[in-house]
């Protein structure tokens, strides 16, 4: 795998989505996966969106992550024009706080799936992890990084639990000394 060739295309509906969608980019970088990022809107620039999806595979992309808010049709529009897997990130940019985007992203008609993740920054991060897991089927070095990422998640939970248990034991010992 070349470190330089983008394997994941991140598309967002508006420049205003960038701070959230950068979470996906940061996470991909942590896995050593090259990415590209651009703005395209299913509603405001439909031709650009269709063109991006139609040319994605021949440009070397293997997964697309699409983040949009309001009636979010970006991920679905991209999925309609490519055979690549598309992961949709619903964004909280409307008065409905992303619930509209969640339903628009996840409720794709049978035959044209979008893998919808959680609303907002957590979803953007998960989209990158899911993209990495898809790529790991083909690239053993990405698989290794996911295995160690999973181990680090587990040990961070164990560490917190151990620290809490230790604090409780100390507090109990202190109370016992007083009585
Ligand atoms: C959506 O509308 C975009 O994905 C963005 O979340 C939202 C608002 O866009 P702007 O009006 O800030 O450009 O299409």
For residue 96, with 0-12 CB atoms within 10 Å meaning exposed, 13-18 middle and 19 or more buried, which class applies?
Answer: middle
Q: Which of 17, 18, 72 to mutate to test the pocket of ligand 1 (most atoms within 8 A of CB)?
A: 17
Ligand 1 center–CA 112 separation, angstroms: 23
How many whole angstroms separate alpha carbon 133 and alpha carbon 75?
19
Tokens representing 106? 């996840």
Give me the residue label for tokens 């151990």.
162
pTM score > 0.85 for this model?
yes
* pLDDT attached to residue 68: 98
> How is residue 15 annotated by DSSP?
G
| Cα torsion 121, 117, 115, 109: sign | negative
- 49 touches ligand 1 (CB under 6 Å): no
* Ligand 1 atom 6, closest CA: 69
Please write the tens of the pLDDT for every residue from 72-97: 999 999 999 999 999 999 999 999 99
Ligand 1 center–CA 124 separation, angstroms: 16
């Amino acid at each position: 795998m070349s470190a330089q060739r983008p394997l994941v295309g991140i598309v967002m509906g508006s420049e205003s989505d960038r701070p959230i969608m950068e979470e996906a980019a940061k996470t991909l970088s942590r896995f050593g996966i090259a990415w590209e990022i651009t703005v395209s809107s299913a509603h405001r620039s439909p031709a650009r969106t269709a063109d991006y999806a139609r040319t994605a595979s021949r440009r070397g992309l293997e997964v697309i992550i699409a983040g949009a808010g309001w009636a979010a049709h970006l991920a679905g529009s991209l999925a309609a024009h490519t055979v690549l897997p598309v992961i949709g990130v619903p964004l909280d940019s409307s008065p409905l706080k992303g619930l509209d985007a969640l339903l628009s992203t996840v409720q794709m008609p049978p035959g044209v799936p979008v893998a919808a993740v959680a609303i907002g920054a957590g979803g953007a991060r998960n989209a990158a992890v899911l993209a990495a897991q898809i790529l790991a089927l083909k690239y053993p070095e990405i698989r290794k990084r996911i295995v160690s990422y999973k181990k680090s998640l587990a040990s961070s939970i164990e560490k917190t639990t151990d620290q809490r248990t230790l604090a409780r034991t100390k507090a109990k010992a202190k109370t016992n000394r007083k009585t």
